[in-house]
Amino acid sequence: MKRSRFPFYITLGVIVFFYLPIVMLVIHSFNASRFGGRWMGFSLKWYSQLFYHPEIWQSLERTLVIGISATGVSVVLGTLAGLALHFYGHTSLQKVHYVFIYTPLVVPDILMGMSLLLFFVFLGIGLGLFTIFLAHVTFCISYVAFVILSRLQDFDNSLLEAARDLGATSWQATWRVLIPHLMPAIVAGALLAFTLSIDDFVISFFVAGPGATTLPIRIYSMIKHGSPPLINALSTLMLFVTFILIGVTQRLIKEETP
């Protein structure tokens, strides 16, 4: 029987659709033309100009600081929320909790941004990086909690009981049995939270204060007066760093498992 080539073409189509824009972006970051309509020669001018725009680097730094710290906090809180929902999900209190965790996933960004802004103003919290951090934690928790929750679906509770039976304290059972089992979900949740935090624009825009312009806010604003090719160059650099990081991590993982 001849195998159908159809799935192959679909896969190919999807891959092209995913990666062609990125390839175009990388190519255009070396294009001397500002508009990218035609090739005006190889040039590194956008890369060199990047170094004359310290404010782009500042906003990148802010974005990363917020991304890392919001990820850290939301992973802890989100994991705890996921555990609570899983183990005590049948109680009415936890049902309310579930709704609270679920809501940020479905509320439109603009509504969330606006309401958080009104809330911060009402409380008199000065807008700035700290408020962006709080806002990001708020929506990242939900994503982390749901990743954890789905991982817990196939967790066999008797494993914990067996551990306790064999003499482990509840602390040991948690750290030696539960957490290792959850680790892939925790990592996945962290990556998801980090990605969401890094490219969030709408919510960040509203809760950002003076001196807290993050990279997405800056990029959106550059569309009117700035040079988009600068962003191509910056994205290419970020891609490059990401690839290196992935490469290094995979090598480390390989070395650890003999």
Report the nearest approach of another protein to the CB of residue 236 (Å). Answer: 19
Q: Choose between 80 and 177: whose C-beta lies nearer to another protein.
A: 80
Q: 104 vs 128, which CB is nearer to another protein?
A: 128
Of 150-158, 162-170, 179-187, 219-227: span binding another protein (CB under 8 A): 219-227
Contact flag: residue 211 with another protein (CB under 8 A):
yes
Whether 237 contacts 25, CB under 8 Å: no
Using alpha carbons, select from 80, 138, 130 the residue that is nearest to residue 104: 138
* Cβ neighbourhood burial of 78 (10 Å; 0-12, 13-18, 19+): buried
Single residue of 99, 106, 223, 252 touching another protein by CB under 8 A:
223
Q: Which two tokens stand for residue 171?
A: 């602390």
Number of residues located near another protein, criterion CB under 8 A? 46
Torsion angles phi and psi, residue 228, rounded to 5: -55, -35
Q: How far is the CB of 164 from another protein (least distance, A)?
A: 25
Does residue 73 interact with another protein by CB under 8 A? yes
- The one among 84, 147, 160, 208 contacting another protein by CB under 8 A: 208
Could you say whether residue 205 binds another protein (CB under 8 A)?
yes
- Closer by beta carbon to another protein, 27 or else 114: 114
Binding status of residue 108 toward another protein by CB under 8 A:
no
User: Is residue 154 a contact partner of residue 162, using CB atoms and an 8 Å limit?
Assistant: no
User: Which position among 130, 138, 155, 164 is part of the footprint of another protein (CB under 8 A)?
Assistant: 130
| Integer CA distances (angstroms), 159 to 123, 156, 176, 179, 186, in order | 46, 6, 11, 12, 19
CA-to-CA dists, residue 181 to 79, 88, 159, 176, angstroms = 13, 19, 10, 9
How far apart are the C-alpha atoms of 86 and 152, rounded to whole Å?
7
Which residues make up the interface to another protein (CB under 8 A)? 33-38, 40, 52, 55, 65, 68-69, 71-73, 75-76, 114, 117-118, 121-122, 126-130, 133, 205-206, 208-213, 217-218, 220-227
